[in-house]
Amino acid sequence: MTSLVHLDLSSNNFNCSIPTWIFRLSRLEFLSLANNGMTGTISSDITNLTSIIHLDLRGNDFEGKLPSLIGTQLCKLKVIELSYNKWNQLMSQVLDSLSGCVSDTLESLSISRGSIYGHLTKQIGKFKALTNLDLYANSISGPIPVSWRNLSSLTSLNLAYNHFNETLPEIYGQFLELKFFHISGNLLEGIVTEIPFANMTKLTSFWASGNRLTLKVGRDWIPPFQLDSLDMGSWHLGPRFPLWLRSQKTLTSLGLSNTGLEGVIPSWFWDSFEFDDLDLSNNHLRGRIQKLSKIAAPYSWIDLGHNHFEGPLPSLSSEMTHLDLSNNDFSGSICQFLCKRQGEFMKLVSIDLSHNHLSGNIPNCWSNWKQLASINLNYNKFNGTIPSSLYSLTFLQSLSLRSNNLSGDLSNLGLHNCIQLYILDLGENNFMGGIPGWIGARLLNMKILNLGSNNLHGHISEKLCALSSLHILDLSHNHLSGYIPKCFNNFSVMVSKNAHYYEVFLLNESMSFYIFEEEMYLVMKGQVLQYDENNVRLVTSIDLSGNFLTGHIPTEIVSLSNLLSLNLSMNLLTGEIPQKMGEMRALESIDFSMNKLSGEIPSSMSNLSFLSHLNLSYNNLRGRIPSGTQLQSFNASSYINNSLCGPPVTHNCSTDGPNENRTRFEDDDDDEMFSWLYIGMGVGFAVGFWGVCGSLFLNRTWRHNYFQFLDYMQDRIYVTSIIKMRWIHEKLGNHRHSQY
């Protein structure tokens, strides 16, 4: 097919290197191999594609350097897509490869998330035809070169999430045609005035979040542009709310997160805009919000979290899809908020009301919120039970009710209907009952299961082992008993060494795609740590601490080679630590304290090179602590109240005398015999006592005869003692007379 001009093989699953026959199609003008998982390096034979205009290699696993002759051989190249690969080379090397005749024709260069590093050198000034430059999310650093002034044709610039470290150069003001200006997530510093914006009359999109810039403009400044989208998150704009926003009549997306804003939002703001996306989170804004119905456009995302808003919850628009009011001072019941618009179809997909002062029962009117995929009511003051209408949310994928005062029998909850649940967090409440088997039988998508700090009892159901995608299991601080199931090795995500990502999504009537992520509080490394939505997906943890579990630690658990944290402390576990514990190479935290474990510490544990927290205290362990820098690096408190020797507990193990680190369980073998003796004595006493007293209590005749017998014996003993005493006195008197 040597006459082929257009070849699109994107979004398949070839998973191989680029076949050589492609490079013989010398008439190709368009070639796309995007999103295939292809591997290897780019052969220098690519320079045979001398007719190529549009080359798309994004979304693969290509690595290595670009062939150096691309810039001199592919002189018709206008668009090159290299994003989402693993090039792992200097930015200057990329520009070198594209220098030559290509620098005169190239209009679009995209290398976002391409593992590019180093400085952006002055060579960028050679690409005078560039209208789109996308270097998003690499590791490019250093100053921005003065040669930027040569890129006068730029209409779209994306330098977001790199490591530039200077202020916003005023030469940006020379980009007269610039429409899309994205420099978010760099380390730009300094003060920005009106000057760089003076000539940007065509600017419609300005994304510059994640920098350390300060905007200083006049109070009456009116920008020369009309923006559709503005994101200045992490800039210093406060404390006053920026008045120049009032001039932006077409603004539909606004991000002012973490910008130092204080006080009450002016009333004109709520009346002037209709947002698709509004983020005012992480400021010091306060006051009451009466309603969000006007400001929210259809399918809008509103984030007002981490402020000081107070009063009752505001009324919503039925068109809103994402609402975050977390970490504020909202109070009172949510009945009016949820139930006021009964019968009206609400399009809300995600709601986060966590970390407020909301109280009362959770009302039973969720029936018109059918689209909800994520509900977060953590850290409030709700009481009562989970309402039955919540079980009708068939799209529900994340339910977080942690740290309230909710109650009820867990086995009676109707959540088995919510088969798409992947996060269930009911920790720190007052739920009772056993762990229901339907969790393992029905909720097969479960990735995070937190039932810790409740009043659950019974055994850990082996049906939980069907949750092969489970990342986090927390059953700590309950009243669970029995053995640890051996089938925990079915948690395949904890076995796999590859990181597994997940997201909550919902395709609603508009076919929009939504992603929500969760923060979690986990006991890791001996303390409660908060994991945000960016890293909780990578955490694998099992916490069964603070229960009444018995038996041995199952040897099957050592197959969980991707497990980061294992906490079995404060139980009644016996036996030895599994000998192959060292095969769990990913472990960062182990806590087996306050059990009845015996034997020696397995030598293989010295292979746990990532281990940063270890607690084996208060057991019946004995012998030498295995040598190796890892186990010796912990404080002696990690081993106290055992019969262990060697660093860091003692200098050596040469002495046979009593060890000062004696455990409260060190004499368990001897004490066990005495324990049974004492138990037998107690049981014997109880049987004998109640056998006699119970008979006397139930049988009247026996009771009367028994007390008559006692009276008779008392009288007889008294008379006998009197006669005996008189006989002794008589003998003593006769003895005295004979002496005289």
Residues 288-306 pLDDT 10s: 998 888 888 888 999 999 9
User: 5-19, 102-116, 165-179 — which is least confidently predicted?
Assistant: 165-179
3-state secondary structure of 516: strand
- Three-class DSSP category at 358: strand
Name every residue whose Cβ is closer than 8 Å to that of residue 718 and which is 6 or more positions away in sequence.
none
Q: How many CB atoms lie within 10 A of CB 11?
A: 11
> By the 8 A CB rule, do 344 and 365 touch?
no
pLDDT at residue 664, rounded to an integer: 40
Mean pLDDT over all residues of the chain? 86
- Kindly tell me the burial class for residue 117, based on how many C-beta atoms sit within 10 Å of its own C-beta (0-12, 13-18, 19 or more): middle
Look-up: residue for tokens 């002016």?
Answer: 266
Domain boundaries, the chain: 448-673, 684-731
pLDDT tens profile 340-385: 877 788 899 999 999 999 999 999 999 889 999 999 999 999 999 9
Phi, psi of 407 (to 5 degrees): -145, -175
Residues 410-452: pLDDT tens digits? Answer: 988 889 889 999 999 999 999 999 999 899 999 998 999 999 9
Q: Which residue has the tokens 């000539």?
A: 199
Q: Which residue has the higher pLDDT, 587 or 527?
A: 587
- Give residue 340's pLDDT: 83
Indicate the fold that domain 448-673 takes in CATH: 3.80.10
- Report the percent of the chain where pLDDT is more than 90: 61
The residue that leads in pLDDT, 728 or 107, is 107
Strand duo 472-474 + 275-279: pairing: unpaired
pLDDT confidence of residue 147: 83
Q: Confirm if 296 and 274 have CB atoms less than 8 A apart.
A: yes
Give the pLDDT of residue 690: 63
Mean pLDDT on 128-135: 92
Q: Is residue 196 scored above 70 in pLDDT?
A: yes
Which pLDDT belongs to residue 172? 77
Which of 10-19, 122-131, 627-636, 693-702 is least confident?
693-702
